[in-house]
Structure 1
Amino acid sequence: MKIFIDTANLDKIKEVNSWGILDGVTTNPSLVAKENTDFRTLVGEICKLVDGPISAEVMSTKAADMVAEARELAKINRNVVIKVPMTEEGLKATKTLANEDIPVNMTLIFSAAQALLAAKAGARYVSPFVGRLDDIGQDGMKLISEIMNILDNYDFDTEVIVASVRDPIHVVEAAQLGAHIATIPYDVLKKMFNHPLTDNGIKKFQDDWAKVPKKP
């Protein structure tokens, strides 16, 4: 499973990229707003850091405007993926962009039916938001299972990006279901490699090593 980081913060991207496990980056308007930096400049800087898909979201609501916006974003770097919301206008824009070989990440997916429509329209990625479904008492990972089953039945090139990840359990369950990608916040990524037994084991090894006789 590929791992993306869900942030627009350059320092966090640099750190996680240094671990050697990062395959891409997703951003959204809320994440970009936190950085107080020109959007296009920020996307360009992210593309310099990570050689993988970098999702940048359009803000228009009409298909023609989404397409025009997407074409400009695509000029920033070959790795830019256009995030388009799951709406009727978004589907129209996705079809046009797919025909122009501009990859689309259709976002704000909350049902298997939406994911199917996105795949039919030519979306390169679909982003189901599991955490937001959990927040309203639904089973976000059940949706991932449904989408994976549908995509496995047909010859779609669409990949599933498990989004709105709240904890490492979401990541593990996504991997067990065969999801192609999880896009993970920085804080959750940090939790993934931390475990008290690992820390205790390291301390014990260091304490024991200190007792080993050393040549003068």
Structure 2
Amino acid sequence: MELYLDTAKIEEIEEGVELGIISGVTTNPSLLAKANPTAPIEHLKKICSIVNGPVSAEVVSTNYKDMVSEGLKISKISENIVVKIPITEDGLKATKVLSKENVPVNMTLIFSESQAILASLVGAAYISPFIGRLDDISYDGMKLVKSISEILKTTNSKSKIIAASVRHPLHVVEAAKLGAHIATVPFKTLKQLVKHPLTDIGLEKFLSDSRGISIVS
């Protein structure tokens, strides 16, 4: 499974890429607003120059024709741009058109198996189930990841699952077990994936025991 960063903050992306574990980035209008760029297009270009992989940028239009027009413009920002489109009737129509134009689409706000099936049928390159938001309403978001994974295998779909709305490291681990191709994580969760209290204790002991010892002179 690949890891993407769910952020639009340049400093977070640079640090994630430097760790050598980030294969892509997902953004949305809310994340871009938090990054507060003076020029959003230039900001996305900067992200694409840092990440050697897919970078999702979301349309803000809700009308089918406007989604297509905006999607085509967004796709020209960089070769690694993926157009992010919400699962609506207009979104499905727009995804079908963009897919035929060889524009990769990340179909977002997926909350059911039926929505995932429709996204796959219109050629979405990526399907993003929002597991954390499902957990928030007392539904096991991981059950949806498992179901979508089984459906895509059965139908030989080329769509990839991006486990989105990830809240903690366990979400990442479970998503990997259940067949998600990608998990997109906030920067905080990325940092949490590295940490373990026993690692810290072990390192502290090693350093304490090695005082006065030099392997490299």
For Structure 1 versus Structure 2, the TM-score category normalised by the shorter chain is over 0.9
Counterpart position of 2:11: 11
Give the drift of 1:46. Answer: 0.2
Are residues 1:176 and 2:177 paired?
yes
Counterpart position of 1:151: 152
Distance, in Å, in 2 between the alignment partners of 1:189 and 1:155 is 31
Give the drift of 1:15. Answer: 0.3
Give the drift of 1:41. Answer: 1.2
Counterpart position of 1:206: 207
Give the drift of 1:71. Answer: 0.7
Give the drift of 1:178. Answer: 1.6
Distance, in Å, in 2 between the alignment partners of 1:116 and 1:22 is 28
Distance 1:39 1:212, change over 3 A: closer
Give the drift of 1:43. Answer: 0.7
- The question of whether the paired residues in 1 share the 8 Å contact of 2:145 and 2:179 is answered with no
Residues 19-65 of structure 1, C-alpha deviations (whole Å, 9 max, x = no match): 00110000011100112212211110100000100000001111110
Residues 122-160 of structure 1, C-alpha deviations (whole Å, 9 max, x = no match): 000000000000001110000000100100101211000
Distance, in Å, in 2 between the alignment partners of 1:166 and 1:76 is 30
Question: What TM-score comes out, normalization by structure 1 length?
Answer: 0.97
Map 1:18-97; keep pairs closer than 5 Å.
18-37=18-37, 38-97=39-98
Map 1:119-158; keep pairs closer than 5 Å.
119-158=120-159
Distance, in Å, in 1 between the alignment partners of 2:94 and 2:128 is 16
Distance, in Å, in 2 between the alignment partners of 1:211 and 1:71 is 62
Distance, in Å, in 2 between the alignment partners of 1:212 and 1:41 is 51
SS at match of 2:22: coil
Distance, in Å, in 1 between the alignment partners of 2:209 and 2:142 is 43
1:176 is matched by which residue type in structure 2? K
2:20 is matched by which residue type in structure 1? G
Distance 1:119 1:203, change over 3 A: same
> What RMSD in Å do the two structures reach over aligned CA positions?
1.3
1:65 is matched by which residue type in structure 2? D
Distance 1:213 1:32, change over 3 A: closer
Distance, in Å, in 2 between the alignment partners of 1:35 and 1:7 is 8
Distance, in Å, in 2 between the alignment partners of 1:12 and 1:212 is 36
Give the number of equivalent residue pairs: 215
Distance, in Å, in 2 between the alignment partners of 1:53 and 1:108 is 18
Distance, in Å, in 1 between the alignment partners of 2:24 and 2:15 is 13
Question: What TM-score comes out, normalization by structure 2 length?
Answer: 0.97
Distance, in Å, in 1 between the alignment partners of 2:133 and 2:179 is 21
Identity of aligned residues (%): 53
Counterpart position of 2:111: 110
SS at match of 2:210: helix
Give the drift of 1:213. Answer: 8.3
Counterpart position of 2:167: 166
Give the drift of 1:211. Answer: 4.9
